[in-house]
Structure 1
Amino acid sequence: MTSVSMRGLRGGVGSTSLLAAVGHALHSLGERVLLVDVCPENLLRLHFNLGWTERRGWARATLDGWPWEEQAWSLGSNLFLLPYGEVNEAEETAMERRLGAEPALWRRRRASLAEHFDWLLFDLPRGHPAHAASVGPCDLPIRVVEADAACHALLQRRPERSCDLMLVNRYDPLCQLQRDVLLLWKQRHGGRLLPVNVHADAAMREALACKAPVGHYAPASLVAKDALSVAIWCLAQRARAA
């Protein structure tokens, strides 16, 4: 089983939508995929037509003492989603403390999932360090970035943030600023940049409004093809590591 994590370098770069798109793309290539939402915002479920009022999820179950593995949703043959679950602010803080006290929680759970899935995809939060740390090292840790001044400043301010792989989202090749930033990143972080840029495309936002991954909503769109290219790149990395 190969593990992938995605986390935004800053808020609003579209990492959750991108994780949903790549997970759907891997499944379309015949892979067994489980997507896990580690973000207390609990938004990944909205990409797969789960209801606004649906409260169940692994964190909700952990807090209530229910079996966490029974919270997964089957989205089709060999495609599953494990939502975070609905929690209030106090419960969110309690979950962060619990994960801090049990740093190997998700590493143990990952071991139990290995025989059932080819891919385990984690949507990681920007904050909540104990949440992210509980997942443990992933085979493909990806930071989602936009080629803009804000992300560039964050990479300059905290160079350690560039230790993960970098995937550029919402790229507009007609924007001179984005072209310049990307060129600079290729010079400074070339070895960590994925060879695929995910282009800006209204289909991604429309897909969320329709509560579907973009590959299902608009399979012929540019962004769906980009997500498929990322999935193919992931397969190539797995083959290289084998």
Structure 2
Amino acid sequence: MHIVAVQGIRGGCGPTSIVAGLASALERLGKPVLAIDLCPSNLLGLHFGLPFDEPSGWTRRTQQAAFRHKELISVLPYGRDASPSSEPTLEHLAQVLQQLQPADDTYVLLDAPTDLDIRNQLEHNRQVHLLEVVEADPCCHVLLNYQLNDTPRLPKRQHFLINRFQPARRLSHDLLQLWRLILGNELLVPCVIHEDEAIREALARKQLLGESAPQSLAMQDFLALAHWCVRTVEAS
């Protein structure tokens, strides 16, 4: 299986919508997908049509199956009944994956909170890739530079993805060009996810983007991201 953790460089960058959109695009390419919510906010399942009050999730020790959304897409929410005293760990997640036994060609997409140490997994597990979501704004630029200063050689399986890109904003365009120079194509995903109201509308309908707005600009962006993901992940 191919594990892709999607994590914001800070809160509010939109990793949950990235997981949902990428799942929809990978399914369009014929790839099986298992999307897992690692965030206590428990919002990922809404993108896949689950009821907002669905209590089940991977943090419940009795949860033994994911919810099947379509033939190639399954989702495992965080759960609403998780005990704060028994915060789930990546080791627990590994046990859940062993129990679910996804097929070897499955893309396991993790919606990861910002405080989860995914980079440590990159050093020890070659199956794991990290998509760190950024927006083309000054705050993300500062946080990105903190990372580069603290870790001059970032892991090869860590990549940065620009979300909610608005090309009409000059600062956003300038930051995109600057990051391309600083990071290059190996670290910066060559495609961006444009700001598109269709993403919000899809969540309001509790549908994946490929179902709600298959011809939207954002869906074309996610298809480009899915093609990049397949080339990059399966080649490593």
Q: Measure, in 2, the Cα distance between the counterparts of 1:187 and 1:152.
A: 13
Given that 2:48 and 2:206 are in contact with CA atoms closer than 8 Å, whether structure 1 keeps it comes out as yes
Can you give the 5+ residue segments of structure 1 that lack an aligned partner in the other structure? none
Identify the structure with the greater helix proportion.
Answer: 1
Q: Is residue 106 of structure 2 the alignment partner of residue 118 of structure 1?
A: yes
Q: Structure 1 vs Structure 2: percent identity of aligned residues?
A: 34
| C-alpha spacing 1:239/1:131, structure 2 compared with 1 (3 Å) | closer
For these two proteins, the number of residue pairs brought into alignment is 227
Given that 2:56 and 2:81 are in contact with CA atoms closer than 8 Å, whether structure 1 keeps it comes out as no
Residue in structure 1 matched with residue 128 of structure 2 by the alignment: 139
Offset from partner CA, 1:140-188 (integer Å, 9 cap, x none)? 2110110101101111234358652100011111110001111111122
How far does residue 229 in structure 1 lie from its aligned partner after superposition? 0.8
3-state secondary structure, aligned to 1:4: strand
Q: Measure, in 1, the Cα distance between the counterparts of 2:74 and 2:234.
A: 23
Residue in structure 2 matched with residue 175 of structure 1 by the alignment: 169
Residue in structure 2 matched with residue 229 of structure 1 by the alignment: 224
Offset from partner CA, 1:84-135 (integer Å, 9 cap, x none)? 10047xx23x232x52xxx5332343345243652111110113x3799789
Given that 2:48 and 2:207 are in contact with CA atoms closer than 8 Å, whether structure 1 keeps it comes out as yes
Q: Measure, in 1, the Cα distance between the counterparts of 2:119 and 2:110.
A: 9
Given that 1:147 and 1:168 are in contact with CA atoms closer than 8 Å, whether structure 2 keeps it comes out as yes
Amino acid of the residue matched to residue 172 of structure 1?
A: Q
| C-alpha spacing 1:51/1:132, structure 2 compared with 1 (3 Å) | farther
Offset from partner CA, 1:54-77 (integer Å, 9 cap, x none)? 111111x22xxx1x323x111111
**RMSD of aligned alpha carbons:** 2.4
Q: Measure, in 1, the Cα distance between the counterparts of 2:120 and 2:27.
A: 26
Residue in structure 1 matched with residue 33 of structure 2 by the alignment: 33
Residue in structure 1 matched with residue 17 of structure 2 by the alignment: 17
TM-score (norm. length: structure 1):
0.85
3-state secondary structure, aligned to 1:58: coil
Residue in structure 1 matched with residue 211 of structure 2 by the alignment: 216
TM-score (norm. length: structure 2):
0.87
Q: Measure, in 2, the Cα distance between the counterparts of 1:10 and 1:76.
A: 31
Runs of 4+, deviation exceeding 4 Å: 130-138, 160-163
Can you give the 5+ residue segments of structure 2 that lack an aligned partner in the other structure? none
3-state secondary structure, aligned to 1:110: helix
Q: Is residue 192 of structure 2 the alignment partner of residue 197 of structure 1?
A: yes
Q: Measure, in 2, the Cα distance between the counterparts of 1:37 and 1:111.
A: 17
Residue in structure 1 matched with residue 78 of structure 2 by the alignment: 84
